[in-house]
Structure 1
Amino acid sequence: MPLKALDIYKLLPRKNCKECGDPTCLTFAMKLAAGKADIELCPYLDENAKSVLGATTRPPIRRVKLGVGERSFAVGEEFVLYRHDKTFYHPPGIMFVVSDTQSEEEITAITARVRDETLTRVGADLKFNGTAIVNTSGTIEAYAKAVAAVEKTAGLPEVLVSENPAALAAALVLCGSYHPTICAATPENYKQICALAKQYACRLVVRASTLEALVQLAKDCVAEGVPDILLDPGAKTLGDFLYRSTAVRQLAITRAVPDLGYPVYLDATTFEDEDAAIALGIVKYASVIVAKPLSPASAKAALTLRQNIYTDPQKPIQMNPGIYRVGTPGKDAPVLMTVNFSLTYFTLQGYLESTRIPCFMLIVDTEGLSVLTSVAAGKLNESLVRDAIKKFGVEGEVNHRKLIIPGYAAPLSGRIEEATGWKVLVGPRDAAEIGEYLVQEWKP
């Protein structure tokens, strides 16, 4: 079990020397307990303390990086079983499958889609992560040709899926510098596969039919010199995956079975309902999900679900406060004030764009709270609005002194007028009504 902050503090030198970068040893202990500091930052720890703390303060799930360059991504390094306890840190990589039985044109099209397709949602660009190249033909030549087609199209993270060590070796000659992931080592072939993974510094998927066998196989692969591994629990049904993935996470988080402390790999193509498998993998601890190219609707659903699950539930998504333009507003354009909760911002922005009325959006800092919540909590007040108008130079943008505030902020209208000297107009509560409101009410 992980040590608590006070238990860690007792093992520290308690010199308060500040050489670790923290003001006190207790602060350092609290960071160690939360997994936000490295024991190597303390220059005065003896070897016994390092041994004890190293085993209890490092992340219970190993961090594994897939790929190189801009599109590389990290998985693992998680600390909790439930996201509301803290948060989940590293979203799963969703990788599209290509097969060496497909034409070069088909492989290129799928790889280009992974490279280029982007869903922009609440200010974030959501993308798929890479390609999994399957040796369906069983031949070395076809596999090498498929890998070459992927390499020629994009430098994306790759998973090489083959039971043929010779085919893997031929592929690794082509893409070894990208440090691909090899899938998969089994109890029968792990020595050969580990030799290739070690030679080319690859990540390795290990697969076994039971958790007990998975533990042993993980130990064996690490002993062969391959520390960066992912666990494929070998589930045959969605129920099996749910049980095994949850067991892996629980045993790793509690450190009851440290040899299961690795990210989980899910091949969603092996299940009849692939969309359900992807959704289950996202919410139940899969770190790499391999899938067939998704339809536009399924792609949007998967990316949106992943974003939602891996957003910190204790920290609202926020926009930077400031003055934002919708269209090309002139000096007579309306100024609409709202909060920096990102969903509020993007909802209002969407409706404003649909009106085709150029305007300014004044975004004030309510620490990511919605309008109704920030009014109730006192985060939205007349001083905040007054200071924002001055800070962001709104007076220089327009030749009028009229400010439209959200309907839920109506109780503040009088105080905002007194504090700013601007005439305050109370807009609708529902952003969907803003177009009709501007047409009927706005006069510079």
Structure 2
Amino acid sequence: MALNGMQIYKLLPRKNCKECGFPTCLAFAMKLAQGGTEAEKCPYMSDEAKSQLAEATAPPMKTVKFGANDFEYSLGGETVLFRHEKTFVNRPRFAVMFSDTMSSEEVDKKIKNINSVNYTRINEEMYVEIAAFRCESQDKDTFTSLIKKVTDSCPKVVPMIIAENTEIAAAAVNECADRGPILFGANEENYEAMVSLAKDKNLLLGVTAAGKEKLYDLVEQIQKLGYKELLLDAGSRNLKGAFDDMVNIRRTALLSGDRTFGYPTVAFVCDMAQDKMMQLACSSLFVEKYASIIVLGDIDYSLALPLFALRQNIFTDPQRPMRIEQGIYKIGSADEQSPLLVTVDFALTYFIVSGEVERSKVPSWILIPDAGGYSVLTAWAAGKFNGKSIAKAVKEFDVENKIKTRELIIPGKVAVLKADIEDELPGWKVIVGTEDAATLTNFLKNYEQAVS
């Protein structure tokens, strides 16, 4: 239960030393109660008080981790049901399901698809994070061989071991322990042995039961054993039941403050639908409500593009615009004679413009100045996109030494900047481009012909 400012104040040493950056301990306590600072900033707080505060101020949904090194991920830690209330914290991760009864051809196809999905969107690399392995043969050697084959072929994936036989699970964990795998399969019969294995390797433990009530009781038993690195599954394998589970588990944790259900959840979309587009629809639903791991039967670009874009759009801070890094970007085989366009650093604008430039097949350069992360007209109205900011970018990114042409194509909606830019960049000619990105393809083709 959260503590108020006076309750926190009673836990402080009350020295009023100001080393925390606040004039008094009371001011520090009040700010800490609001979530505006951290307990670690008090150098004289006792370990016992820090422990009490950590428990009291922790999110109702626990943050858990899996993976290792560059491929370590966080799940959970959410504090709100709706993004507009604040922001969502840790995005869901996508998995592809493998079974040790699959044919070699099917396994190879999924490996190829996983490795082919690797691209960058708005400064974020997009790829499949998890390979889920379901033990259906009940043969230890067959299961571990599958894990080895896939993990050797897919260096970025973190294994998710789905096995209820603890001996097989232990062998699988040993096969890929250096990757920080997820151990999934703790149930009412084996939970003590699975907790022991998870504790020994410090793994995220997947807990499953037939329904929310039984899952709640099972989580309580596991918590009594002192383990709280959990991933929950209430057992539903149909869309309606799974959706109901996700929403009720999240609401129980966040609205009722019941930490027994304060853990991330998993959705086995691969078991809810066989049709590829139906899996896409189900996955889209669980990105929004409220799965932390979404397991698909397979994935390719036709699934990855909408799912990763949806995830990125939802799991960003709504108070911060999505920005592309300032710089000069090369589209196609652009050289020193290629046209130079300028647009703003609002990510959506950049990707629309760059997509149309690529579609035109005209090698070009795109200059991105600091425009505050706003759209073209908003940035211009705010004074962020003007002659000075564009001229500054030209100098900062050494454009004149990269391009021999001295022509700059600006968005048609800010044609009024033409004279301003030419004043700031002597020797440059400003070309007013199109108002709509959709007509940029023909504009560039005509521009190329005119220049040649």
Q: TM-score, normalised by structure 1?
A: 0.87
2:289 is equivalent to residue 284 of structure 1? yes
Is 1:387 aligned to 2:402, yes or no?
no
Instruction: Please give the per-residue CA displacement for 1:27-80, whole angstroms capped at 9, x wherever unaligned.
Output: 78647744x864234222256753552233223222222222333322112222
Q: Aligned in 2, Cα 1:373/1:143: closer, same or farther, shift over 3 Å?
A: same
Cα drift, residue 293 of structure 1: 1.0
Which whole-Å CA distance do the structure 1 matches of 2:261 and 2:391 have between them? 55
Q: Measure, in 1, the Cα distance between the counterparts of 2:297 and 2:362.
A: 42
Q: Distance in 1 between matches of 2:121 and 2:96?
A: 21
1:405 maps to a residue whose letter is I
Distance apart, 1:174 and its partner CA = 2.5
Structure 2 equivalent of residue 89 of structure 1 = 89
1:90-239 matches, cutoff 5 A: 90-104=90-104, 106-111=106-111, 113-115=113-115, 117-154=117-154, 156-239=157-240
Given that 2:101 and 2:136 are in contact with CA atoms closer than 8 Å, whether structure 1 keeps it comes out as yes
Aligned to 2:380: 375
Q: Is residue 432 from structure 1 mapped to residue 433 from structure 2 by the alignment?
A: no
CA distance in structure 1 between the partners assigned to 2:190 and 2:435 by the alignment: 64
Larger CA deviation: 204-213 vs 326-335: 326-335
Cα–Cα, structure 1 residues 362 and 216, in superposed 2: closer, same or farther, change >3 Å?
same
| Cα separation, partners in 2 of 1:104 and 1:406, compared to 1, 3 Å | same
- What is the CA-CA distance between 1:9 and the residue it aligns to? 6.7
Q: After superposition, what is the alpha-carbon deviation per residue over 1:328-349, rounded to whole angstroms, capped at 9, x for unaligned?
A: 5455443322111122222222
CA positional deviation for 1:117: 2.6
**SS of residue in 2 equivalent to 1:230:** strand
Would the alpha carbon gap of residues 18 and 102 (structure 1) be closer, same or farther in structure 2, given more than 3 Å must change?
Answer: farther
* Greater Cα offset, 169-178 or 253-262: 169-178
Judge conservation of contact 2:270–2:279 (CA < 8 Å) in 1. yes
Q: Aligned letter for 1:310?
A: F
Name 1:256's counterpart in structure 2. 257
1:141 CA drift (Å): 4.0
The one-letter code of the counterpart of 2:172 is: A
| Alignment-mate amino acid for residue 228 of structure 2 | P
Q: Given residue 372 of structure 1, which amino acid in structure 2 is its aligned partner?
A: L
- Aligned-residue RMSD, C-alpha: 3.2
Corresponding residue of 1:336: 341
> Contact 2:114 / 2:299 at 8 angstroms: preserved in 1?
no
Q: CA deviation at 1:237?
A: 3.2
Q: 1:320 to 1:16 in 2, by over 3 A?
A: farther
SS for the counterpart of 2:430 is: strand
Contact map agreement 1:2 1:33 (CA 8 A) in 2: no
Cα distance in structure 2, aligned partners of 1:90 and 1:347: 27
Q: Distance in 2 between matches of 1:384 and 1:15?
A: 49
**1:79-125, CA deviations, whole angstroms, 9 ceiling, x for partnerless residues?**
22111222222221211111111234543543454355313333432
Q: Secondary structure at the match of 1:160?
A: strand
Give the partner amino acid of 1:381: N
Kept after mapping to 2: 8 A contact 1:162/1:183? yes
8 Å contact kept, 2:433–2:443: yes
Percent of matched pairs sharing the same residue: 35
Distance, in Å, in 2 between the alignment partners of 1:23 and 1:257 is: 36
Q: Which amino acid aligns with 2:196?
A: A
Instruction: Tell me the distance in 2 between the aligned counterparts of 1:313 and 1:211.
Output: 32
Deviation at 1:6, TM superposition (A): 8.7
Q: 1:105 to 1:11 in 2, by over 3 A?
A: same
2:429 to 423, 434, 438: 423
- The CA deviation string for residues 205-260 of structure 1, in whole angstroms up to 9 with x for no partner, is 11233434323322211222432111112234323322321222223234620121
Conserved in 1, the CA contact under 8 Å of 2:347 and 2:373?
yes
CA change 1:151–1:343 in 2 (3 A) is: closer
List gaps (5 residues or longer) in structure 1. none
Which is worse superposed, 65-74 or 366-375? Answer: 65-74
Alignment partners' CA distance in 2, 1:9 and 1:65: 32
* d(CA) in 1 for partners of 2:436, 2:56: 50
Matched-pair contact (CA < 8 Å) for 2:380–2:414 = yes
TM-score of the aligned structures, taking structure 2 as reference length:
0.86
Cα distance in 2, alignment partners of residues 58 and 294 from structure 1: 35
Question: Structure 2: how far apart are the matches of 1:399 and 1:178?
Answer: 49
Alpha-carbon separation, structure 2, partners of 1:354 and 1:274: 30
Q: Which residue number in structure 2 is paired with residue 409 of structure 1?
A: 414
